[in-house]
Structure 1
Amino acid sequence: MYINITDSKTANNKGSSRELVHYLEKENRIENKLEREHWFNHEGRTFEPFEVRHAIDGNVAKLGKADAKFFLINISPSQKELKHLEGKYGVLDIRKQLKCYAERLMDEYARNFKREGVNSAKDLLWFGKIENHRYYGFKDKQVINGEKKRGELKDGNQLHVQIIVSRKDVTNSIKLSPMNNSRGKNEHHSKKLGQFNRVAFKQFGEDMFDRTFDFHRQLRDRMAYANIQKNGSLEQRKQLDVLNEILEKHPQGTSYENSLVNEITNGEFSNFIDMISKPDYASIFELLLAPTFEPRSPDVSGKKKRRKIKKIQQTLNR
Structure 2
Amino acid sequence: MYIAISKQSQGENFSGSVRDFVKYLEKENEENNLGLQESFFDQYNDNIPAEEVIAQIDNNTSKLNKKDPKFYSMVVSPSQRELKAINNDPEKLRQYIRALMNDYAASFHRNEVVKVDDIKYYAKIEKERTFKGTDREIQENQPYATKILKLKKEIRAIENGELKVNINRIKKEIERLETDAPHQINGKRIVRGMKKDGMQNHVHIIVSHKDATNTFKLSPLSQHKENETILNGKKIKQGFNRDKFYKAAEKTFDKTFNYKRNFVESYMARNVLDKDPKRFLGMLAGLPTSEKQAAFKMLFKAGVKVPIIPTNKVQLAYKTLMKLKKGVEVAINSGSIGV
Contact between 2:14 and 2:67, CA under 8 Å: does it hold in 1?
Answer: no
Aligned equivalents of 2:6, 2:314: Cα separation in 1: 41
Contact between 1:10 and 1:20, CA under 8 Å: does it hold in 2?
Answer: no
Query: Bigger CA drift: 131-140 or 3-12?
Result: 3-12
Aligned equivalents of 1:170, 1:192: Cα separation in 2: 20
Contact between 2:18 and 2:54, CA under 8 Å: does it hold in 1?
Answer: yes
Which SS does the other structure have where 2:86 is aligned? helix
Aligned equivalents of 1:138, 1:9: Cα separation in 2: 20
Amino acid paired to 1:223: Y
Aligned equivalents of 1:193, 1:108: Cα separation in 2: 18
1:58 Cα deviation (Å)? 0.3
TM-score (ref. length: structure 1):
0.70
Contact between 1:181 and 1:195, CA under 8 Å: does it hold in 2?
Answer: yes
225 and 14 in structure 1: CA distance in 2 versus 1, 3 angstrom threshold = farther
Which SS does the other structure have where 1:45 is aligned? coil
Aligned equivalents of 1:23, 1:228: Cα separation in 2: 35
Matches within 5 A, 1:120-139: 120-139=115-134
Deviations 1:218-275 (A, max 9, x none): 11221211211221386xx1xx555534433266xxxxxxxxxxxxxxxxxxxxxxxx
Identity of aligned residues (%): 35
Aligned equivalents of 1:100, 1:10: Cα separation in 2: 31
Which among 238, 242, 261 is matched to residue 194 of structure 1?
A: 238
Quote the residue 1:158 is aligned against: 200
Which SS does the other structure have where 2:223 is aligned? coil
1:13 Cα deviation (Å)? 5.1
Query: Bigger CA drift: 199-208 or 11-20?
Result: 11-20
Contact between 2:132 and 2:192, CA under 8 Å: does it hold in 1?
Answer: yes
Aligned equivalents of 1:76, 1:43: Cα separation in 2: 22
Contact between 1:75 and 1:161, CA under 8 Å: does it hold in 2?
Answer: yes
Quote the residue 1:34 is aligned against: 35
Amino acid paired to 1:172: N
Matches within 5 A, 1:90-169: 94-144=89-139, 145=142, 146=145, 147-169=189-211
Amino acid paired to 2:190: K
Which SS does the other structure have where 1:38 is aligned? coil
Amino acid paired to 1:206: E
1:27 Cα deviation (Å)? 0.8
Q: Specify every segment of 5 or more residues in structure 1 that has no aligned partner in the other structure, as ranges.
A: 252-313
Aligned equivalents of 2:136, 2:286: Cα separation in 1: 33
Contact between 1:107 and 1:119, CA under 8 Å: does it hold in 2?
Answer: no
Total equivalences in the alignment: 246
Contact between 1:4 and 1:202, CA under 8 Å: does it hold in 2?
Answer: no
Contact between 2:109 and 2:226, CA under 8 Å: does it hold in 1?
Answer: no
Contact between 1:41 and 1:127, CA under 8 Å: does it hold in 2?
Answer: yes
Amino acid paired to 1:135: T
Tell me: higher relative CO, structure 1 or 2? Use CA pairs within 8 A at least 6 residues apart. Answer: 2
Quote the residue 1:3 is aligned against: 3
Quote the residue 1:174 is aligned against: 216
Contact between 2:225 and 2:240, CA under 8 Å: does it hold in 1?
Answer: yes
Amino acid paired to 2:94: K
39 and 24 in structure 1: CA distance in 2 versus 1, 3 angstrom threshold = same
Report whether the alignment pairs 1:203 with 2:247. yes
Amino acid paired to 1:34: G
Query: Bigger CA drift: 68-77 or 194-203?
Result: 194-203
What RMSD over aligned residues (CA atoms) do the two structures have, in Å? 2.7
